[in-house]
Chain A
């Protein structure tokens, strides 16, 4: 054999050709693979160039310290030349508190701030149920946020102490029994109502006592008369409590142990405070109502079914604006003469119904996507209707519809801006118009809309990212 012609060792691998590696390969594959792609790339570059050409100088010449728009323009002209454009963020600096709080009294800003911080503490057990680490991080974030913002808003020191103790207590609870944190979530609505609207501390406590009475009557009566009649008796007792005993009790307690914070009227709410109050309340109440409506629509009982269908189709068929006008104009016809209740509450009720009808359709899609076998299996196990729904059907149906549910929530939050049409001061139309009507800031338009839009974007985008996280977390199939 001619051994001299055979290699004894392997050649070292050559590097790939220059067009097949690194940045050049990426560019060739992603931007210049075909003539059409080259055209598209050039088009994209042109769009970016045009946007930057007009917007970049405007951003770079931003003015943060000025008294009025004309002064802003003078500063821009002085620093960047007579033809330069520049953003006038000084307006945000002067008016940010109106965008966030509306006409809420500045001395009481700590109240919405505290409520906002605690909102995340209340959401924590819902968002990350039972995950000690995520809960601790979130509560730590809440604590840091509250320390910083309460300090900045010059909250009374007693509030400072109470808030810190409260969050520290919750942190301790998370370490020992993370499941118990849900109790704070249940108490949160009453707490927030009292913090935001103020008044006597006894009214939320006595109102919550109604729920305790409901539960107490139910527990006492159920061994005697059965579950369903006991539940009915509980509801009747609670309603009687709220109708006849609530107000005198509050007055009595308030005269015996007076403790109250200044009451704030609804027309002083505004800006993102209003949007978040309506949005969060609407979201948390629309989901259970939506689930009930969806189940009603799927029901075998024709009367329940047709009532649900009628409600859903009616609400979905009319624009939200007309429903809001119903809240502001027509409710006075439908309620007993002389009743007059808060406009924010009326709007929240109508917004909740609106979102619930959309959610019902979304959840119906999830229910329809479940294979028939799941229902049959639940029946075969001998589960009754509610147990089957709670343990078998709804967990799967809701999981399938998470993306659509969250996009309905995002839609609801965006729709809170429509309350401007019934005279409430939303951040977009209400506050911005007040600012634009000011002689100092007349003629400003990009800055307020960019500011408000950016905040909406952050919140809505955050929600959609969370829904993606939830989908991944709940994913049980192995595809």
Chain B
């Protein structure tokens, strides 16, 4: 301490700004700040000059002009008379739906593969190693393009599904048939899946800029309510266990509360499936899922699953054997060992890298452009940009949206991560 106070007090020399550690960090920071400000000013100045030279101005008014292009996959109603902003929303929803489904499927597949890779079965663990290495070391773009090409070139044409009277008489099978109890038809134009219809549906509510499908929201609300009630049941069971040492049997209550209300609501609204069927030259009814969506989803799932498998494997391997041995010594059965001892500790290792895989998957959805999937990149950063010629605004807006999606995902996942982290100290 005396060292610092004994430092020379004989006035301030300019060289102390560089050589005295008390002032040096201020000097460096001020220099950095000035350089940064100069760089920003230079970029802004250039931008202003360039915009003026091209006769453009910086404003987002174009978002309210008529878009004038069609989008194949739309989760909320849209037609080409709507404005660019609504096209942007459609694109954003398309991005999000691929990202969410991809995260779910990739997690399921990745956990399965990661666990199987640790299996003591030599053959299966080798197979899974081959899978992981194959998908990790080859670009994602290849998997997207390959799945798309295979889906659109190998699958049969709609007319191959046709069954004519002559064929029935001759006892011949058609060249192609529908899958899964004749509900799904994969043709070279897309995948036809059944759609859910409600005979006594609740209709829709128009909120001006967006219309809500009440059937969907009612079912969602019922599911949310069931989950909440189920959590209360489990919670009270745990309280009873802690108080008396005996855990009440709850599994049948849980199943009942989770599934009965939803089924009741669905039946009450008159649920039935509209199954696609061959009419004329094409399949009618149901929903046509474009191959661009399917290919993107398949490729993202397979690719990210390989990374998730490695994360899961590393997480489980990070738990020392002593932990499971101690659990067995306490007399816990294998499944309770897994649930109570291994998983809570492994999750702590697994979750942070898992979050970054989810982020990667979300950002990788922008590769959908390779198969003309109209996501945010395809609408705002593609057709809208080309039609309006507003590169600066479109790119900035798109980056901002991607950035906020990323930050939101990491914020939500970090909250979850904090809830499973060690609470010690």
Show the binding face of A for B, using Cβ within 8 Å. 30-31, 33, 37, 40-41, 43-45, 47-48, 226, 228-229, 300-304, 307, 313-314, 316-322, 325-326, 329-330, 332-337, 410, 414-415, 417-418, 420-421, 428-429, 432, 443, 445, 449, 452-453, 456-457, 460-461, 464
Given known pairs A317-B406, A322-B402, the reply for A428 and B377 (CB within 8 Å) is no
Complex contacts, A334 vs chain B, CB 8 Å: 43, 46-47, 50
6 contacts between A and B (CB under 8 A): A303-B33, A318-B399, A318-B402, A334-B47, A449-B145, A456-B142
Say yes or no: A317 contacts B402, CB within 8 Å.
Answer: yes
Q: Complex formed: what's the CA distance from A162 to B78 in Å?
A: 66
Given known pairs A330-B392, A428-B142, the reply for A318 and B123 (CB within 8 Å) is no
Complex contacts, B127 vs chain A, CB 8 Å: 44, 47-48
Partner of A445, one of B53, B124, B138, B149: B149
Say yes or no: B369 contacts A443, CB within 8 Å.
Answer: no
Say yes or no: B153 contacts A304, CB within 8 Å.
Answer: no
Q: Complex formed: what's the CA distance from A460 to B370 in Å?
A: 22
Say yes or no: A460 contacts B137, CB within 8 Å.
Answer: yes
Complex contacts, A335 vs chain B, CB 8 Å: 46
Say yes or no: A414 contacts B139, CB within 8 Å.
Answer: yes
Given known pairs A41-B124, A44-B123, the reply for A326 and B141 (CB within 8 Å) is no
When C-beta atoms are compared, the residue in chain B nearest to A329 turns out to be B391
Residues 118-150 of B, flagged 1 when their CB comes within 8 A of A and 0 if not, give 011111100100000110111111100110011
Residues 15-47 of B, flagged 1 when their CB comes within 8 A of A and 0 if not, give 100110000010011001100100000010011
Query: Does B190 have its Cβ within 8 Å of any Cβ on chain A?
Result: no
Say yes or no: A228 contacts B18, CB within 8 Å.
Answer: yes
Say yes or no: B29 contacts A40, CB within 8 Å.
Answer: no
Q: Complex formed: what's the CA distance from A429 to B121 in Å?
A: 39
* Stretch in B155-163, B205-213, B359-367 touching the partner: B359-367
Say yes or no: A31 contacts B121, CB within 8 Å.
Answer: yes
Contacting A at CB under 8 A, from B53-104, are 53
Query: Does B49 have its Cβ within 8 Å of any Cβ on chain A?
Result: yes
Say yes or no: A337 contacts B53, CB within 8 Å.
Answer: yes
Query: Does B51 have its Cβ within 8 Å of any Cβ on chain A?
Result: yes
Say yes or no: B18 contacts A325, CB within 8 Å.
Answer: no
Within the complex, what minimum Cβ distance (angstroms) separates A326 from chain B? 6
Interface residues of B, count at CB 8 A: 57
Complex contacts, A414 vs chain B, CB 8 Å: 137-140
Query: Does B268 have its Cβ within 8 Å of any Cβ on chain A?
Result: no
Query: Does B403 have its Cβ within 8 Å of any Cβ on chain A?
Result: yes
Given known pairs A304-B29, A314-B403, A445-B153, the reply for A415 and B122 (CB within 8 Å) is no
Complex contacts, B116 vs chain A, CB 8 Å: 40
Q: Complex formed: what's the CA distance from A429 to B50 in Å?
A: 33
Mostly helix, strand, loop or mixed at chain B's interface?
A: helix
Q: Complex formed: what's the CA distance from A304 to B30 in Å?
A: 10
Say yes or no: B121 contacts A30, CB within 8 Å.
Answer: yes
Q: Complex formed: what's the CA distance from A40 to B49 in Å?
A: 67
Given known pairs A40-B121, A44-B124, A322-B377, the reply for A317 and B403 (CB within 8 Å) is yes
Best-surrounded residue of A47, A314, A332, A449 (most CB of chain B within 10 A): A449
When C-beta atoms are compared, the residue in chain A nearest to B36 turns out to be A307
Given known pairs A301-B25, A432-B145, A460-B138, the reply for A445 and B150 (CB within 8 Å) is yes
Within the complex, what minimum Cβ distance (angstroms) separates B181 from chain A? 23
When C-beta atoms are compared, the residue in chain A nearest to B26 turns out to be A301
Complex contacts, A456 vs chain B, CB 8 Å: 137-139, 142
Q: Complex formed: what's the CA distance from A40 to B381 in Å?
A: 47
Query: Does B407 have its Cβ within 8 Å of any Cβ on chain A?
Result: yes
Say yes or no: B137 contacts A307, CB within 8 Å.
Answer: no
Query: Does B275 have its Cβ within 8 Å of any Cβ on chain A?
Result: no
Complex contacts, A44 vs chain B, CB 8 Å: 121, 123-124, 127
Q: Complex formed: what's the CA distance from A163 to B29 in Å?
A: 49
Q: Complex formed: what's the CA distance from A281 to B395 in Å?
A: 26
Given known pairs A428-B139, A457-B138, the reply for A33 and B120 (CB within 8 Å) is yes
Within the complex, what minimum Cβ distance (angstroms) separates A300 from chain B? 7
Say yes or no: B122 contacts A464, CB within 8 Å.
Answer: no
Say yes or no: B370 contacts A429, CB within 8 Å.
Answer: yes
Complex contacts, B120 vs chain A, CB 8 Å: 30, 33, 37
Within the complex, what minimum Cβ distance (angstroms) separates B26 from chain A? 9
Say yes or no: B50 contacts A332, CB within 8 Å.
Answer: yes
Query: Does B398 have its Cβ within 8 Å of any Cβ on chain A?
Result: yes
Within the complex, what minimum Cβ distance (angstroms) separates B392 from chain A? 6
Best-surrounded residue of B138, B153, B366 (most CB of chain A within 10 A): B138
Say yes or no: A449 contacts B369, CB within 8 Å.
Answer: no
Q: Complex formed: what's the CA distance from A37 to B120 in Å?
A: 8
Complex contacts, A300 vs chain B, CB 8 Å: 25
Say yes or no: B46 contacts A337, CB within 8 Å.
Answer: yes
Q: Complex formed: what's the CA distance from A116 to B32 in Å?
A: 39
Within the complex, what minimum Cβ distance (angstroms) separates B350 from chain A? 16
Say yes or no: A457 contacts B134, CB within 8 Å.
Answer: yes
Given known pairs A414-B140, A445-B146, the reply for A37 and B402 (CB within 8 Å) is no
